[in-house]
Amino acid sequence: MAAVHAFRGGVHPKHNKNTDVLPSIRLNDFQEVEILLHQHIGPPCRSVVKPGDYVYVGTLVGAADHPMAVPIHSSVSGTVREVHYVVSPTGNPIEAVRIESDAKFRVDPAISPPHVETKQDFLDMVRASGLVGLGGAAFPTHIKLNPPKGKDPDILLINAAECEPYITSDYRQMSEHPDEIVDGILEIMHWLNIPKAIIGFEDNKPLVHRIFTHELAKRVYKTGTKQPIEVRSLKAIYPQGAEKMLIYSLTKRRVPPGKLPHDVGVLVLNVSTVRFLGFHMRNGIPLTRRRITLDGSALNTPGNFNVPIGARIKDLIEAAGGTREEPQKIIMGGAMMGVALDRIDCGIIKANNAILVFGSNEAKIPAESPCIRCGRCVAVCPMGLMPTGIDVSTRSRDVEGLEFFHVMDCIECGCCTYSCPSKRFLTQSIKNGKVLVRAELTRRANEKKLLEESDKIASGKEAPSESN
Partner 1 sequence: MKLQVSNSPHVRDDVTTPSIMRDVVIALMPATIYSGYMFGLRAILMVMVSATSCLLFEYMSRKIMKRNNTLYDMSALVTGILLALNMPATLPFYMLVLAALFAIVVVKQFFGGLGNNFVNPAIAARIFLVISFPEYMSTWTLRSGAFDFFDSLRGADLVSSATPLASMNTLHASGSIGHIIDNKDALPSLFAMFIGERAGSIGEVSILALLIGAAYLLARKVITPAIPASYLGSFILLVLLFGHTPIYGVLSSNTFSWSLLGEAFYEPLYMLCSGGIVLGAFFMATDYVTSPLTNKGRVLFGIGCGILTFLIRYYANMPGGVSFAIILMNILTPHIDRVTMKKPFGGLAHERR
Counting contacts by CB under 8 A, is residue 255 touching partner 1? Answer: yes
Q: What angle do CA 356, 358, 364 make, to 5 degrees?
A: 130
Q: Whole-number minimum distance, CB 87 to partner 1, in Å?
A: 13
Q: Any contact of residue 384 with partner 1 (CB under 8 A)?
A: yes
For residue 151, the tally of other CB atoms under 10 A from its CB is: 13
Give the separation between CA 185 and CA 307, rounded to whole angstroms. 24
300 near partner 1, rule: CB under 8 A: no
In whole angstroms, what is the distance from residue 420 CA to residue 412 CA?
15
Distances (CA, A) of 157 to 44, 193, 310: 29, 14, 29
Specify the stretch interacting with partner 1 by CB under 8 A; choose among 47-55, 70-78, 135-143, 414-422: 414-422
| Integer Cα distance of 413 and 427 in angstroms | 8
Annotate 78-104 with DSSP letters as a single string. EEEEEEEEEE-TTS-EEEEEEEEE-S-
Q: From the CB of 157, what's the least distance to partner 1, in Å?
A: 16
Q: Measured on CA atoms in the order 150, 145, 124, 44, is the torsion positive or negative?
A: negative
Q: How far is the CB of 387 from partner 1 (least distance, A)?
A: 10
Q: Check binding of 428 to partner 1 (CB under 8 A).
A: yes
Select the residue interacting with partner 1 from 110, 374, 450, 451 (CB under 8 A). Answer: 374
C-beta of residue 74 within 8 angstroms of C-beta of residue 100: no
From the CB of 453, what's the least distance to partner 1, in Å?
A: 28
CA 348 to CA 169: how far, in whole Å?
14
CA distance linking residue 395 with residue 113, whole number of Å: 55
Q: Distance from CA of residue 276 to its chain's centroid?
A: 14
Site membership for partner 1, residue 322 (CB under 8 A): no
Helices (H), 284-357: 313-319
Asked if 337 is part of the footprint of partner 1 (rule: CB under 8 A), the reply reads yes
Q: Does 379 bind partner 1 (CB under 8 A)?
A: yes
- Comparing CB distances to partner 1, the nearer of 109 and 370 is 370
Could you say whether residue 321 binds partner 1 (CB under 8 A)?
no
Task: Tell me the window of 76-84, 136-144, 380-388, 436-444 that interacts with partner 1 (CB under 8 A).
Answer: 380-388
Residue 375 makes contact with partner 1 by CB under 8 A: yes
The site string for partner 1 over 8-47 (x = CB under 8 A, - otherwise) reads: x--x-xx---------------------------------
CA-to-CA dists, residue 279 to 35, 146, 303, 358, angstroms: 22, 21, 22, 33
The least distance separating partner 1 from the CB of residue 254, rounded to whole angstroms, comes to 5
Residue from 126, 128, 358, 393 binding partner 1 (CB under 8 A) = 358
Q: Are 140 and 41 in contact (CB under 8 A)?
A: yes
- How, if at all, do strands 197-202 and 229-234 pair? parallel
- Identify which of residues 161 and 216 has a Cβ nearer to partner 1 in the complex: 161
The size of the chain, in residues, is: 468
328 interacts with partner 1 by CB under 8 A: yes
Tell me if 349 contacts partner 1 by CB under 8 A. Answer: no
Contacts with partner 1 by CB under 8 A lie at: 7-8, 11, 13-14, 165, 244, 248, 254-259, 326-331, 333, 335-344, 356, 358, 362-363, 365-366, 369-376, 378-379, 381-386, 388, 406, 408-409, 412, 414, 417-423, 425, 427-428, 431
